[in-house]
Structure 1
Amino acid sequence: MRSLISVIRQDDDLADFLSWPGDLDLDHGDHVEEVHLASGAALEGFAGDGAGGTYYFCGDGGEERPVLYADSEGQAALLAIGLPELLQLLLVAPWWRDCPTLTAEEGAERAAEYLEDMPDLEVRRDRAAAALGLTLPTEAEALTRLREVAVGAGADYALVFTPEGTVYEPLIAF
């Protein structure tokens, strides 16, 4: 099975598109704070975003591991079960953080804003999905899955600010 991270690193156009609008930068996987999972499971930062947030693989294994996101403001959420699922989310709804209730209506509003700024967004998104070998869900499916993961399995992935022993606040709560 090919590594999606390797595919991204070898394709500058793909890496640029995932960097913006996806806000996923493989060159910035170090979090500014010392953190760990409350469960004691392994935590591996593999990418960052433009606002100082970090994407982590949780547990042992490869790109199939759950992916947790921690922002720079003390909030965190489990976003996906595996890198393919995270990339699907970032490709179809890179504005997910701007949709606090993760509804289709919020997504449609944000999508319109992104399309106004980047008219070729859908063409570039489809090209990126093809390069990654991913089938894309609809935006509604991606946001529904994000909600399921964050509030379901996500309860088992509490991120702790190590120096103080405090748990990060949920980024997505319902």
Structure 2
Amino acid sequence: MQSLITAIREQDDAADFLAWPGDFDLDHGDHVEEVHLASGAALEGFAGDGAGGTFFFCGEGGEERPVLYADSEGGAALMAIGMPELLRLLLVAPWWRDCHRFTAEESQELAATYLEDMPDLMAARDRAAAALGLDLPTEADALARLREVAVGAGEEFVLVYTPENLPYAPLIRN
């Protein structure tokens, strides 16, 4: 089976949607600061966003590994368990960073804002999902899963700024 990272690189529809509005770029996986996981597990940056944030695989293995996101302001959260879950979130709720209450109403309001700028958003999303061979959850389910993964992560996924041995602040809280 082809990796999702390879599929993104080969499928323009997927790469374009993930670049924007997904704000996910496989060519920017270097984090601006030296960091490590408090648990000592491996950490591998593999993608970034336009604001200097980084997506990391945690632990050993392939695309099934947990994915942690760190922004450029000292915040971090475990986002997904594996690439399929991460991509489903980015495809159905690319506005996840602006969700604070994780409600369907909040997500619908954010979606409306995106749709004003990108009237073909849903069609583009569906083309990207098809190109990657992914079935999509509802926005509510994707955001509920994000919250569940982020707040249930525990100490194993605490990102630490190495030079000062200071933990990043949680991006998502109970």
Mapping of residues 103-142 of structure 1, within 5 Å: 103-142=103-142
TM-score normalized with structure 1 length: 0.98
Q: Where does structure 1 differ by over 6 angstroms across 4 or more consecutive aligned residues?
A: none
CA contact (8 A) 1:77 1:154 kept: no
Q: For 1:163, what is the secondary structure of its paired residue?
A: helix
CA distance in 1 between partners of 2:88 and 2:14 (Å): 13
Task: Note the C-alpha offset of 1:106.
Answer: 1.0
CA contact (8 A) 1:53 1:69 kept: yes
Task: Note the C-alpha offset of 1:13.
Answer: 3.0
Q: Tell me what 1:17 maps to.
A: 17
Task: Note the C-alpha offset of 1:155.
Answer: 4.4
**Structure 1, unaligned runs of 5 or more:** none
Asked if 1:147 is matched to 2:147, the reply is yes
Q: Which amino acid aligns with 1:128?
A: A
CA contact (8 A) 1:70 1:77 kept: yes
CA distance in 1 between partners of 2:106 and 2:170 (Å): 20
Mapping of residues 46-125 of structure 1, within 5 Å: 46-125=46-125
Q: Which amino acid aligns with 1:49?
A: D
- Out of 69-78 and 98-107, give the one that drifted further: 98-107
Q: For 2:6, what is the secondary structure of its paired residue?
A: helix
Task: Note the C-alpha offset of 1:17.
Answer: 1.2
CA distance in 2 between partners of 1:120 and 1:62 (Å): 33
- CA deviation string 1:137-166 (max 9, x = no partner): 000000000000000125420000000000
Q: For 1:18, what is the secondary structure of its paired residue?
A: helix
CA contact (8 A) 1:129 1:136 kept: yes
Q: Which amino acid aligns with 2:88?
A: Q
Q: For 2:163, what is the secondary structure of its paired residue?
A: coil
**Structure 2, unaligned runs of 5 or more:** none
CA contact (8 A) 2:31 2:54 kept: yes
CA distance in 1 between partners of 2:102 and 2:52 (Å): 22
TM-score normalized with structure 2 length: 0.98
Give the number of equivalent residue pairs: 174
- Out of 22-31 and 155-164, give the one that drifted further: 155-164
